[in-house]
Protein backbone atom coordinates (compact mmCIF):
# COMPACT_ATOMS: atom_id res chain seq x y z
CA UNK A 1 0.00 0.00 0.00
CA UNK A 2 1.17 3.47 -0.85
CA UNK A 3 0.33 6.90 0.59
CA UNK A 4 1.07 10.35 -0.83
CA UNK A 5 1.61 12.94 1.92
CA UNK A 6 1.32 16.57 0.80
CA UNK A 7 2.32 19.32 3.23
CA UNK A 8 4.56 22.37 2.91
CA UNK A 9 5.99 21.71 6.38
CA UNK A 10 8.90 19.27 6.27
CA UNK A 11 8.26 18.43 9.93
CA UNK A 12 4.60 17.59 9.28
CA UNK A 13 5.47 15.48 6.22
CA UNK A 14 7.91 13.56 8.39
CA UNK A 15 5.46 13.10 11.27
CA UNK A 16 2.55 12.03 9.07
CA UNK A 17 4.84 9.96 6.86
CA UNK A 18 6.26 8.15 9.89
CA UNK A 19 2.74 7.39 11.16
CA UNK A 20 1.76 6.01 7.76
CA UNK A 21 4.91 3.88 7.61
CA UNK A 22 4.06 2.50 11.06
CA UNK A 23 0.68 1.57 9.62
CA UNK A 24 2.43 -0.39 6.88
CA UNK A 25 2.40 2.10 3.99
CA UNK A 26 5.11 3.14 1.60
CA UNK A 27 5.16 6.95 1.54
CA UNK A 28 5.84 9.51 -1.15
CA UNK A 29 5.97 13.18 -0.17
CA UNK A 30 5.15 16.44 -1.94
CA UNK A 31 5.85 20.01 -0.77
CA UNK A 32 2.57 21.50 -2.06
CA UNK A 33 -0.57 20.57 -3.96
CA UNK A 34 0.87 21.36 -7.38
CA UNK A 35 3.85 19.04 -6.81
CA UNK A 36 1.53 16.30 -5.55
CA UNK A 37 -0.82 16.69 -8.51
CA UNK A 38 2.12 16.58 -10.92
CA UNK A 39 3.23 13.31 -9.29
CA UNK A 40 -0.24 11.86 -9.90
CA UNK A 41 -0.21 13.04 -13.52
CA UNK A 42 3.25 11.48 -13.85
CA UNK A 43 1.89 8.06 -13.01
CA UNK A 44 2.05 7.81 -9.22
CA UNK A 45 -1.00 5.83 -8.08
CA UNK A 46 -1.18 5.88 -4.28
CA UNK A 47 -3.91 4.10 -2.37
CA UNK A 48 -4.60 7.27 -0.38
CA UNK A 49 -3.55 10.94 -0.36
CA UNK A 50 -3.21 12.93 2.87
CA UNK A 51 -3.16 16.64 2.07
CA UNK A 52 -2.75 19.82 4.10
CA UNK A 53 -4.95 22.85 3.38
CA UNK A 54 -2.61 25.85 3.69
CA UNK A 55 0.23 25.59 1.17
CA UNK A 56 1.80 27.73 -1.55
CA UNK A 57 1.47 27.00 -5.29
CA UNK A 58 -1.75 24.97 -4.92
CA UNK A 59 -3.50 24.68 -1.58
CA UNK A 60 -5.20 21.54 -0.35
CA UNK A 61 -8.69 22.53 -1.44
CA UNK A 62 -7.42 23.40 -4.94
CA UNK A 63 -5.65 20.02 -5.00
CA UNK A 64 -8.87 18.21 -4.08
CA UNK A 65 -10.76 20.14 -6.77
CA UNK A 66 -8.11 19.35 -9.42
CA UNK A 67 -8.06 15.65 -8.52
CA UNK A 68 -11.84 15.37 -8.58
CA UNK A 69 -11.99 17.16 -11.95
CA UNK A 70 -9.84 14.38 -13.45
CA UNK A 71 -11.79 11.16 -14.07
CA UNK A 72 -8.57 9.13 -13.77
CA UNK A 73 -8.61 9.82 -10.03
CA UNK A 74 -12.34 9.50 -9.38
CA UNK A 75 -11.88 6.74 -6.79
CA UNK A 76 -8.69 7.99 -5.16
CA UNK A 77 -9.30 8.45 -1.41
CA UNK A 78 -8.41 11.97 -0.27
CA UNK A 79 -7.95 12.91 3.39
CA UNK A 80 -7.52 16.54 4.43
CA UNK A 81 -5.11 16.69 7.39
CA UNK A 82 -5.09 20.29 8.55
CA UNK A 83 -5.35 22.85 11.32
CA UNK A 84 -8.42 24.40 9.66
CA UNK A 85 -11.28 23.79 12.07
CA UNK A 86 -14.01 26.14 10.79
CA UNK A 87 -17.10 24.12 9.90
CA UNK A 88 -17.48 26.07 6.65
CA UNK A 89 -14.03 24.90 5.54
CA UNK A 90 -14.65 21.32 6.61
CA UNK A 91 -17.92 21.35 4.66
CA UNK A 92 -16.25 22.92 1.60
CA UNK A 93 -13.51 20.28 1.55
CA UNK A 94 -16.00 17.42 1.84
CA UNK A 95 -18.36 18.95 -0.74
CA UNK A 96 -15.48 19.39 -3.19
CA UNK A 97 -14.44 15.77 -2.91
CA UNK A 98 -12.33 15.09 0.18
CA UNK A 99 -13.40 11.75 1.63
CA UNK A 100 -12.33 12.45 5.21
CA UNK A 101 -11.10 15.37 7.32
CA UNK A 102 -8.56 15.10 10.15
CA UNK A 103 -7.58 17.91 12.51
CA UNK A 104 -3.90 18.46 13.32
CA UNK A 105 -2.33 17.40 15.53
CA UNK A 106 -3.53 13.85 15.06
CA UNK A 107 -2.43 10.45 16.23
CA UNK A 108 -1.60 7.27 14.35
CA UNK A 109 -4.79 5.77 15.79
CA UNK A 110 -6.93 8.58 14.38
CA UNK A 111 -5.34 8.12 10.95
CA UNK A 112 -5.86 4.36 11.18
CA UNK A 113 -9.54 4.88 12.05
CA UNK A 114 -10.06 7.23 9.10
CA UNK A 115 -8.29 4.84 6.73
CA UNK A 116 -10.44 1.98 7.99
CA UNK A 117 -13.57 4.05 7.29
CA UNK A 118 -12.30 4.49 3.73
CA UNK A 119 -11.47 0.81 3.35
CA UNK A 120 -7.77 1.62 2.94
CA UNK A 121 -5.65 -0.74 4.98
CA UNK A 122 -2.07 -1.85 4.62
CA UNK A 123 -1.56 -5.58 4.39
CA UNK A 124 0.59 -5.59 7.51
CA UNK A 125 0.01 -3.19 10.35
CA UNK A 126 2.98 -2.55 12.61
CA UNK A 127 2.39 -1.71 16.23
Cα(8)–Cα(65) distance, rounded to whole angstroms?
Answer: 18
In a domain, 127, yes or no: no
Cα separation, 60 vs 47, whole angstroms: 18
Q: Which residues pair with 2 in a beta bridge?
A: 26
Domain extent at residue 47: 2-118
Indicate the pTM of the whole model: 0.92
Residue 123 pLDDT class (50, 70, 90 cuts): low
Structural domain contains residue 59: yes
Residue 91 in any domain: the answer is yes
Please indicate, yes or no, if residue 107 is contained in any of the structural domains.
yes
CA 13 to chain centre: 11
For residue 123, being part of any structural domain is answered with: no
Structure confidence by residue, pLDDT tens digits, 62-99: 999 999 999 999 999 999 998 888 889 889 999 999 99
Quick check: is 125 in a domain? no
Instruction: Count up the domains in the chain and report the number.
Output: 1
Between 125 and 2, whose confidence is greater? Answer: 2
pLDDT tens, position by position, 15-45? 999 999 999 999 999 999 999 999 999 999 9
Q: Of 43, 9, 47, give the one whose Cα is nearest residue 25.
A: 47
Q: What is the CATH number of the domain that holds 65?
A: 3.40.50.2300
Residue 58: per-residue pLDDT: 96
26 inside domain: yes
Cβ neighbours of residue 86 closer than 8 Å, sequence gap 6 or more: none
Amino acid sequence: MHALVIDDSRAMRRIIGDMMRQLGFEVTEAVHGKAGYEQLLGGLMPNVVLVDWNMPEMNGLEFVQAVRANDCFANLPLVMVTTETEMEKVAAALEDGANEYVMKPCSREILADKLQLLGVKAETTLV
